[in-house]
Structure 1
Amino acid sequence: MMAHYLCAVDVGTASARAGIFDHSGVLLGRAERPIAMNRSAEGHAEHDSEDIWSAVCASVQAARAASGAAADAISGISFDATCSTVFRGREGEQVSVSRNGQSRWDTIVWLDHRALAEADECTATGHEVLKFVGGVMSPEMTTPKLMWVKRHLPETWARTGRLFDLADFLTCKASGSLARSQCTLTAKWTYLAHERAAWRPDFFAAVGLADMFEHAALPDRASPVGTDLGPLTEQAVEQLGLTSACRVGAGVIDAFAGALGVVGGLPDVDRHMALIAGTSSCVMAMSREPRAASGIWGPYYGAPLPGLWLSEGGQSATGALLDHVIRWHGQGGEPTAETHRRITDRIMQLRAIEGLDLAGRLHVLPDFHGNRSPLADPHAVGVISGLTLDASFDSLCRLYWRTAVAIALGIRHVLDALNANGYGIDTLHVTGGHTRNPLLMELYADATGCTVVEPSGGDAMLLGTAMIAATAAGHYPDLASACTAMRQQGHQRLPNPAARHRFDHDYRVFLEMHRQRQELDRLT
């Protein structure tokens, strides 16, 4: 009897990754291809959705070749992607969201902050839907981006006939289905999955989007994650190098796939938090009842697991901030993997001499791209206190170290907000690019006081998406069962008790810096 394998696709900010898994969650083959991003103006970022699809197809073909699995042995596929917004015409053609008018740039990237003013307008409505986004609308969510396009690119808005979160666009390309995932709509489109009337047209009317449903081709009800959306289309079969025996599962936003991959299937979910950390960082905590917290997105019902509520927080720039520090400093240059390694090695040498007090008077507030959580202030800015005239390579290392400390303290800040609202989180499951940074992995344990678990199976986003594909293919009766069966073990790191005093002190300074920055904003 032929084995049945699963294909998972993870589309991040800079690349598309594909993995082939067996039904127990073991990764057999992986491949990655870059995707293009256009920075058309300050705060603007755009993708080409056809370029993304091409990268997806190439990575799937390469991953299958690496795994040795036959095309007709792949029984399920699903997609996770960043919460970027794809604009298509009424016939499915690309529609530009760029100031330059090029139709290929049809996707507003998740990190695009062009709609800051529109996000503030959404918040000012005080509408009930805001209770499920932490009380404040973020420019990284869909509604303000749609408002911006309608207001600033009216010709684009007039031509738009289909709107997708990127993961839903990919399942549409694969299956032909216009279904939308309960994850994407609930987390980014103010869809209230827990209510019978899930859409609130009065909210959209209040922000000038009364006609949104005429331009979006949205369903009345979303599809639960892992829903079988049908087989691959003939065109997708040819492009992906698979067969029509492969079923397509309703997908998720990338961070939600990571949450499935590291905490899905755990019985005591209230104690565990997923930290999906790369360019930015996303924290996700699940519970059996809704737990609203100011500045924390959600609670979202059924996103991604049926019957559970999810609260989401995060930091808009973490890996990107460390890259920025390197570029910014005169001794930095281009932030390659080798540059990060050289800096990290030198920090370890300096710490062997000075210990955790290294650069102890240098303090960083890491909100260089706003504060997503728990302050929910997209206008927040970064702060550095304690600079001198030292411009040496060692001064770069000290600044890098203290920036890494600030990133970890930001996670502690989010944890405090969650635990103050009913959670009892004591374990962080970390996945993403930060697992390759030994400083951050050490700091996540020592600065938060939590046990840190690093998944041993590799890419948790791909694993979570493979769980979804397994559900759609019928390997398991439901998504929860797939998570339990396919979950991989991890490596634990306990906090260092000797570091607690140092980081408790740093955290007090961190909170005081937030207060002082807010006071300066008030004065100016």
Structure 2
Amino acid sequence: MRRFVIAVDVGTASVRAGLFDSDGYMKARSVHPLDLARASARRGEYASQNIWQAVATTVRAVRAEAKTDVTDIAAIAFGATCSLVFQPAEAAPASLSRPGFDTIAWFDHRASSEAFECTATGHDLLSHIGDVMSPEMQIPKLMWARRNRPDLLSKGGNVFDLADFLTFRATGSARRSISTLASKWTYRPETPSGWASDFLKTVGLKDLPERDGLDRPPLAVGSPAGTLTAQAACDLGLDQTVIVAPGMVDAYAGALGVLPPPEPGKPSPLALIGGTSSCLVGQSAVPCHGKSLWGPFFSALYDGAYLVEAGQSATGGLLNHLLEASSAGGTASEALHDRVIARIAALRATEGDSFAAGIDILPDFHGNRSPFADPAMTGMIAGLTLDRSFDGLCRLYFRALVAIALGLKQVINVMAEAGLATDTLFLAGGHARNPLLREIYPDVTGRKLVLAREKDAVLLGSAINAASAAGLHPGLKAAAAAMQASEMTVTPDPVRSRLYERDMQRLLILQACQAQLRTI
């Protein structure tokens, strides 16, 4: 009997794969790095072939580690960042700034002016993306391509969200997932046609819905997208009987790994998926709108429910940046993070609440996604000295953690104003492995923090998607109920929470200061 599933998560810097049983226990895990070309701090590109090879490497590795036979694998599912893959009609791969690099990274802001143009249309659909189009969404990037690289959108070619591209490589079918289309492509599944043709015409993309796969209704999460092609089965070391689930936005896979389906009349907890960036995901039985909130997206996770997303563009990425920018730091490896965290614990034990006092950070080093929806915002640090020591780096790192949590509190407040108030956060992603964040998040936000049994909840969410598609459980909700599990809950410390109230006042001053500086 086929009783295992494989989950794949393509992140910013690496691919992870996990092999799970139908109860949600991960039996094996593998990680492989990605080649990322960065022409500048605001541009990034991948090679889709390199991504697929990394996927194949990790999938083969987890099956080998778990010592499972090919005939034990029921299904596979992919979660990925919202990067944009160009597939030309000709056999040769498309190339952006480097040969073979055919994928614009999710964090790439080259289409900022196009995003501004979208916002300036004032179209009704903007109310479903927080009233402001982000350059991290796909429509502005497609506008940029049409104007600057029309060859990338040649007739007969195609363009995919990365999660959909992986499903396409696996099955040969270009049909898309509702998870990606509803959230990043302005597709509205609750409307008769899905696409806002007048908006697409205004921004020069009226032919977009005619492309293969975009001309059909998207697939629901937890449904089968097809089975592996002979080539994909060969690449992945599996067989053609393996079912492929529709791809998912990585943050939504993380939400699926921890969030139960919403219940009418009951407040839904929020999922905080923290990695290079942070996404806060909530659900509701009714649509909820708010400035800087992405959504409501109908059926983007659970069928019939509305999903709302907010976030911070650089959180783990900010921590990595601080480590690598300091002469006392180095490559932002897991070992270096652990070393800094351990030293912070020792310094706090000695210095108490005065540790790192006087340093204040505005964490928007890559723009502000929420609550201001302003990609032009930048980071600020107040209180710097000539200290270049390792301990000085530790103080900056700690205050960056606090700043990230303060920004998160602002995001939570915006979601509450939109009707998504909660006293509980489910933490998923790499941040769940940081003991300082597990302490600081509840203390700063005043919310309980629930940690899942499975620390890699993004992989678990894709495993739930795969298990549902394979029929190992009778539907997505049943699969989630069987495979999700919580391990512990962290409650806010009232004494520390009061101390952080002063830090919030200082953050507000920094935000006001930057706003004033930008007017001069």
Structure 2 counterparts to residues 329-408 of structure 1, below 5 A: 329-408=326-405
The one of 141, 144, 153 aligned to 1:145: 141
Residue 177 (1) aligns with residue 173 (2): yes
Structure 1 residue 105 and structure 2 residue 104: aligned?
no
The question of 1:447 aligning with 2:444 is answered yes
**Which residue of structure 1 lines up, in the alignment, with residue 44 of structure 2?**
45
Equivalent residues of 1:8, 1:463 under 8 A apart: yes
284, 289, 295: which one pairs with 2:286? 289
Tell which deviates more after alignment, 436-445 or 389-398: 389-398
Report the equivalent of 1:87. Answer: 86
Q: In 2, are the aligned partners of 1:230 and 1:247 still within 8 Å (CA)?
A: yes
Instruction: Report how far residue 217 of structure 1 moved.
Output: 4.7
2:260 pairs with 1:261: no
Question: What is the TM-score normalised by the length of structure 1?
Answer: 0.95
C-alpha deviation, 1:294, in angstroms: 0.6
1:174-323 to structure 2, matched below 5 A, reads 174-214=170-210, 217-265=213-261, 270-323=267-320
Amino acid at match of 2:153: W
- Aligned-partner Cα distance in 2 for 1:339–1:82: 25
Does the CA-based 8 Å contact 1:161-1:214 persist in structure 2? no
Contact 1:87 1:160 in 2 (8 A): no
1:357 Cα deviation from its structure 2 partner: 3.0
Q: 1:324 aligns with which of 310, 321, 325?
A: 321
Residue 129 of structure 1 is aligned with which of 111, 121, 125? 125
Contact 2:433 2:455 in 1 (8 A): no
Distance change >3 Å, CA 501–CA 238, structure 1 → 2: same
**What do the CA deviations read for 1:22-48 (whole angstroms, capped 9, x no partner)?**
111111112122221112345221111
Kindly provide the amino acid, as one letter, of the partner of residue 52 in structure 2. Answer: W
1:160 CA drift (Å): 6.4
Residues 1:167 and 2:166 aligned together: no
> How far did 1:359 drift?
2.5
2:409 aligned partner: 412
Is 1:522 aligned with 2:486?
no
Q: Which residue of 2 aligns with 1:489?
A: 486
Query: What is the identity, as a one-letter code, of the residue corresponding to 1:143?
Result: I
Task: Please report how far the alpha carbon of residue 3 of structure 1 lies from its aligned counterpart in structure 2 after TM superposition.
Answer: 4.7
List per-residue Cα deviations over 1:112-167 (Å, max 9, x = no partner): 11111111111111111111111111111001111111111123333662111111
Q: Secondary structure at the residue paired with 1:413?
A: helix
Distance in 1 between the 2:91 and 2:298 partners? 30
- 1:379 Cα deviation from its structure 2 partner: 0.5
Q: Are 2:57 and 1:64 equivalent residues in the alignment?
A: no
Distance 1:177 1:75 in 2: 19
1:345 deviation in Å?
Answer: 2.1
Alignment length (residue pairs): 519
Counterpart-to-counterpart distance in 2, 1:150 and 1:215: 14
Kept after mapping to 1: 8 A contact 2:28/2:63: yes
- For the 8 Å contact 1:363–1:385, the answer to whether it is kept is yes
Q: Which residue of 1 aligns with 2:111?
A: 115
Alpha-carbon separation, structure 2, partners of 1:271 and 1:410: 21
Q: 1:458 aligns with which of 451, 455, 460?
A: 455
> How far apart are the structure 1 equivalents of 2:399 and 2:415?
25
Letter in 2 for 1:240: L
Structure 2 unmatched ranges of 5 or more: none
1:228 touches 1:248 (CA, 8 Å); kept in 2?
yes
Partners of 2:472 and 2:177 in 1: CA distance: 20
Q: Take 1:187 and 1:318, find their aligned partners in 2: how far apart are those partners?
A: 21
Distance change (3 Å), C-alpha of 1:42 and 1:445: closer
Q: Which residue of 2 aligns with 1:78?
A: 77
Relative to structure 1, the CA distance from residue 93 to residue 214 in structure 2 (aligned partners, 3 Å threshold; closer, same or farther) is farther
SS where residue 177 of structure 1 aligns? coil
Q: What is the deviation of 1:213?
A: 3.7
On the 8 A contact 1:367/1:382 being kept in 2, the answer is: yes
Check if 1:31 corresponds to 2:30: yes
Segment drifting more, 464-473 vs 260-269: 260-269
Query: What are the ranges of 5 or more consecutive residues in structure 1 without an aligned counterpart?
Result: none
Task: Point out the more displaced range, 399-408 or 355-364.
Answer: 355-364
| Distance of 1:44 and 1:340 partners within structure 2 | 25
Q: 1:266 to 1:354 in 2, by over 3 A?
A: farther
SS at match of 1:353: helix
- Secondary structure of 1:312's aligned partner: strand
Per the TM alignment, residue 287 of structure 1 is displaced from its structure 2 partner at its CA by 1.0
Comparing 131-140 with 227-236, which one deviates more in the overlay? 227-236
The Cα of 1:265 is off from its aligned counterpart by 4.2
With normalisation by structure 2, the TM-score equals: 0.96
Report the Cα distance in structure 1 between the residues aligned to 2:330 and 2:267, rounded to whole angstroms.
Answer: 43
**Matched residues in 2 for 1:92 and 1:86: separation?**
15
Equivalent in 445, 463, 466 of residue 469 of structure 1: 466
8 Å Cα contact 1:19/1:29 also seen in 2:
yes
SS at match of 1:270: coil
| Conserved? CA contact 1:265–1:481, under 8 Å | no
Percent of aligned pairs with the same amino acid = 45
- The CA distance in 2 between the partners of 1:379 and 1:40, in whole Å, is 18
Distance 2:496 2:77 in 1: 42
Q: State the shift of 1:94 in Å.
A: 2.3
Partner Cα distance (2:227, 2:153) in 1: 32
Cα displacement string for residues 200-256 of structure 1 (whole angstroms, at most 9, x for unaligned residues): 121111112223345565123111112212221111111111122211111211000
Q: Would the alpha carbon gap of residues 167 and 210 (structure 1) be closer, same or farther in structure 2, given more than 3 Å must change?
A: same
C-alpha deviation, 1:441, in angstroms? 1.4
Residues 389 and 458 from structure 1, CA distance in 2 versus in 1: closer, same or farther, beyond 3 angstroms?
closer
SS in 1 for 2:518: helix
Cα offset, 1:384, TM superposition: 1.1
Question: 1: distance between equivalents of 2:193 and 2:2?
Answer: 43
